[in-house]
Structure 1
Amino acid sequence: MRFRDEHPWPSSQQQLKGGSRDRTLDIAPANRRPHRLYRITMGKSFNPAQDIGSLEGKVILVTGGNVGLGKQTIAYLSAHNPTRIYLAARTESKARDAIASIKSSVPNACEITYLPIDLSSFSSIAEAAATFKAQESRLDILINNAGIIATSYSTTKEGYEIQFGTNHMGHALLTKLLLPTLLETAKQPGSDVRIVNLSSLGHYYPVSKGIEFDQAALAHESYSRCYGSSKLANLLFARSLAEQYPQITSVSLHPGIIITDLFKHVQSNVFMKLGFWIYGLIGLFLPGHYKSPERGGALNTTWCATTAKAELENGAYYMPVGKKSGGSRWARDEGLKKKLWEWTEEELLKYGY
């Protein structure tokens, strides 16, 4: 986003420019000369029903597919004839309800299979990966969508701060265990293998070090900052994956400003509630604000998973929809990216993975 004026709040004329792909919104404030415009990059026009090509033969796995963005992403993808989509989630009853709901709303939906997983437990993740590999010989698209936000301090079974442990470490282990299948799929003629990591604008607001590798120290940190660090890790992990495995297209994204079931973890702290209310209010003036996952919130995820490979830059971070962004200063920190990759590998090896 960029403004051509020093004043942040537009007030009168608005004009949408551009074709069906890249669009800009020029906003002329009242009582200003016509050339003094705000220009906001609006992203690409994307209609999943029309713009997703055939996914025939592809196997897809989406974590957190039982609610919100994950559920809507599966709904979009299921209409385009993939062989199978795995809905990875912790609670079976919610997953079964989500599958029934998707099949009800998408009459031509492909087969959707529930895959039990608890991303806060390495043993559960290992079991999920083993179950998947016992059933499938290929994996074309891995969407690391699941996440939690704004909990009071607690830890995963392995002792990581709960948000960092679930959002980053859980997905890092799942990705590592599925990499042999992803790499084998990438060897096949005409393959287009992708790993899509859901990050967030929250990555702009991590802890003071960007990422705190002494996880015990996070007991004294704001849990919103811990969330920001977990989202920064999602972005940096995608960048490292792109470097380590260039034959796979790995990207990260901000889905937009949406109030989803993710926010159910927000406690009854009045300041947190006020903060999220302001966050949503500001979002009304920005591109990428959606009323719900069903009303646009899953578009950027789906675009990253399905757009033509030539439109993606390996390792890039995308704002809605399909607009490449450099992200925060932390996101561009090569030293932090390298340290996170090496530390994550060491931690996983410590537990035998």
Structure 2
Amino acid sequence: FCPFGLSEDGVEMQFATNHLGHFLLTNLLLDNMKATAKSTGIEGRIVNLSSVAHLHTYPKGIEFDKLNDEKTYDDKMAYGQSKLANILHAKELSRRLKEGGANITINCVHPGLIMTNLMRHSFFLMRVLQFATYILWKSVPQGAATTCYVGLNPQLKGVTGQYFADCNVEKTSRFARNDALAKQLWEFSEKLIKFSSK
């Protein structure tokens, strides 16, 4: 969670950091991944790090028309929006990869509540709450378990477009299951990338 700010390219900071950068990197690597998966016969895997926080987002899910609006900005909902974007990105890319016959899967994981400095900008009360609930939080290795499971477990061959928590497929929000919203986000993200690269 962080105060309102814009990235160097003029995009709301949490959306730019948690979604747009990953969207761009994935797309830059995708042709090489497809070629490698095809030449080796080994399935490529993409794992997006999301969060249960995707459940707590703005009323429309993604505020396309108010993304950079400081007046309507809420740090927790903006974080949730960015984590929803991670799931929608995986959903749409999974559809596109299947449609194109690529031997690549993409899934999302919620690593759990991990002791990191995520709340460094939060009010004192939030930090006290984090300390008081310390026993519920995971260590970094515990938090990495689901990511490693989804990225490496041979039993998940061919599994794509899913959301995992604690090494199990979990149900997502209605926004995260919305195919039209996933497609709209993809097109919106492409426009932002093209605009910022000019």
**TM-score of the superposition, structure 1-length normalised?**
0.51
Cα 1:277/1:335, change in 2 over 3 Å: farther
Instruction: Report if aligned partners of 1:218, 1:226 keep a CA contact under 8 Å in 2.
Output: no
1:227 corresponds to: 79
Cα 1:257/1:311, change in 2 over 3 Å: farther
**Alignment counterpart, residue 180 of structure 2, candidates 290, 313, 335:** 335
Cα 1:182/1:337, change in 2 over 3 Å: same
Instruction: Report if aligned partners of 1:206, 1:229 keep a CA contact under 8 Å in 2.
Output: yes
Q: Please tell me whether Structure 1 or Structure 2 has the larger radius of gyration of its CA atoms.
A: 1
2:38 corresponds to: 187
Whichever residue aligns with residue 220 of structure 1, its letter is: T
Is residue 89 of structure 2 the alignment partner of residue 243 of structure 1? no
Instruction: Report if aligned partners of 1:326, 1:332 keep a CA contact under 8 Å in 2.
Output: no
2:155 & 2:161 partners in 1: Cα distance? 13
Q: What's the % identity of the aligned pairs?
A: 36
2:49 corresponds to: 198
2:124 & 2:156 partners in 1: Cα distance? 46
**Alignment counterpart, residue 19 of structure 2, candidates 148, 161, 168:** 168
Classify the secondary structure of the residue corresponding to 1:302: helix
Cα 1:300/1:228, change in 2 over 3 Å: same
2:130 & 2:89 partners in 1: Cα distance? 26
Classify the secondary structure of the residue corresponding to 2:143: coil
Larger proportion of strand: 1
Whichever residue aligns with residue 53 of structure 2, its letter is: G
2:127 corresponds to: 273
Give the Å deviation of 1:311.
5.1
1:256 corresponds to: 112
2:108 & 2:34 partners in 1: Cα distance? 19
1:219 & 1:275 partners in 2: Cα distance? 27
1:13 corresponds to: none
2:48 & 2:158 partners in 1: Cα distance? 14
Is residue 152 of structure 2 the alignment partner of residue 301 of structure 1? no
Cα 1:304/1:272, change in 2 over 3 Å: same
Cα 1:210/1:275, change in 2 over 3 Å: farther
1:44 corresponds to: none
1:161 & 1:275 partners in 2: Cα distance? 27
Question: Gapped runs of 5+ residues in structure 1?
Answer: 1-149
Cα deviation digits, residues 92-117 of structure 1 (max 9, x gap): xxxxxxxxxxxxxxxxxxxxxxxxxx
Structure with more relative contact order (C-alpha pairs < 8 Å, separation 6 or more) = 2
RMSD of equivalent CA atoms: 2.1
1:348 corresponds to: 193
Cα 1:191/1:219, change in 2 over 3 Å: farther
2:143 & 2:107 partners in 1: Cα distance? 17
Cα deviation digits, residues 272-294 of structure 1 (max 9, x gap): 3356467x47x83xxxx52x113
Alignment of 1:129-168 (within 5 A): 150-168=1-19
